[in-house]
Amino acid sequence: MIDTFKAYLDKTNLSENSKSAYLFAFRQFSDKYGTVTKKNLTAYKVWLVDNFKPQTVNLRLRGMNCYLESVGKEKWKLTFVKVQQKPFLENVISEADYEYFKKSLKDDGEMFWYFVIRFLAATGARVSELIQIKVEHVKLGYLDLYSKGGKLRRIYIPATLQEEASQWLGSKRQDSGFLFLNKRGDRITTRGISGELKKYAVKYGIDPKVVYPHSFRHRFAKSFLAKCNDIAFLADLMGHESIETTRIYLRKTATEQREIVDDIIDW
């Protein structure tokens, strides 16, 4: 069954990290309960709630729900547990640190990594989507992705980034294929990107906690709302199923909250 599920996952647009997490959940369930029945699924959920944080519980449940989809048993899907959201965003790279990071990479001639963070922060792409971008998409100015249900998500490449990236590609004489390749000429992995960004954060004296691929997607959302207060449009750009997911970007970061409190409270 695990091989069949893996084959099903390979046909989806899920990131490699998600596929691994879903397979782990299925293996964990199988080792603990064996046969997939409604009773065993409920028991698995109860066990997860008793032993893990809500985010982990929901990740494992998403994995099992994905398996149920793969075998046509959607009616058995498990409901997620409620995650208590903090009243602020955590570990989001600030605009100042983002600008400093960009400048440092450019000054050091690290154009590959400069464009990695530029594309993440200027398009709102997930890292799994970033590595799908090709030269042809830069020329078009967008990348179209289709979800498993056939829903279209268009990732726009802003004109300024399109022009700058075209010049970079021209200097490398690359006129086709994936943008972000490793030293062997293969498409770089999401893990490879995460690891290298941490190294550069340390090198430039930026808190590594705020330097990870998804942080730049958060930066995109925060910066977008600061200039265009259209949360419905942002939800579409980010590929969120529900606008409620996008509302978190209306919150301040903990640092922003602190600055406002220090600025206005003098009593």
The DSSP letter of residue 146 is E
Q: What is the mean pLDDT of residues 90-99?
A: 90
Query: 44 is written with which tokens?
Result: 């698995």
> Do 104 and 180 sit in the same domain of this protein?
yes
**Catalytic-labelled residue, pool 19, 45, 62, 126:** 126
Residue 217 is a catalytic residue: yes
Please check whether residues 69 and 159 belong to one and the same domain: no
- 36 and 122 fall within a common domain: no
The single residue of 240, 247, 251, 252 carrying the catalytic annotation is 240
148 is catalytic: yes
200 token code pair: 């550069």
> What CATH number does the domain containing 49 carry?
1.10.150
Say if residue 189 is in the same domain as residue 229: yes
Residues 117 and 227 in one domain: yes
**Options 45, 118, 137, 217, the catalytic residue:** 217
pLDDT in tens, 15-28: 888 899 999 999 99
Q: Are residues 113 and 245 in the same domain?
A: yes
pLDDT digits (tens, 9 = 90+) for 35-78: 999 999 999 999 998 888 888 999 999 999 999 999 999 999 99
Residue 148, pLDDT > 80, answer no
Q: Can you give the pLDDT at residue 15?
A: 81
Neighbours of 122 (CB within 10 A): 21
What distance in Å separates the CA atoms of residue 138 and residue 146, rounded to the nearest whole number? Answer: 18
130 belongs to a structural domain: yes
Number of domains in the chain: 2
Residue of 65, 97, 98, 102 lying closest to 80 (CA atoms)? 65
Residue from 53, 80, 81, 54 nearest 66 by CA: 80
Q: What is the pLDDT of residues 195-218, one digit of tens each?
A: 999 999 999 999 999 999 999 999
H/E stretch holding 89 reads: none
Asked whether residue 41 is assigned to any structural domain, the reply reads yes
What is the residue range of 54's domain?
2-76
Residues 6+ apart with CB under 8 A from 210: 91, 92, 93, 94, 97, 201
Which of these is catalytic: 32, 86, 214, 258? Answer: 214
* pLDDT higher at 14 or 37: 37
CB atoms within 10 A of CB 17: 14
Asked if 240 is an active-site residue, the reply is: yes
Q: Are residues 72 and 165 both part of a single domain?
A: no
Catalytic residue among 148, 151, 154, 203: 148
Give yes or no: residues 111 and 56 share one domain.
no
Percent of the chain predicted with pLDDT > 90: 68
This prediction has a pTM of: 0.68
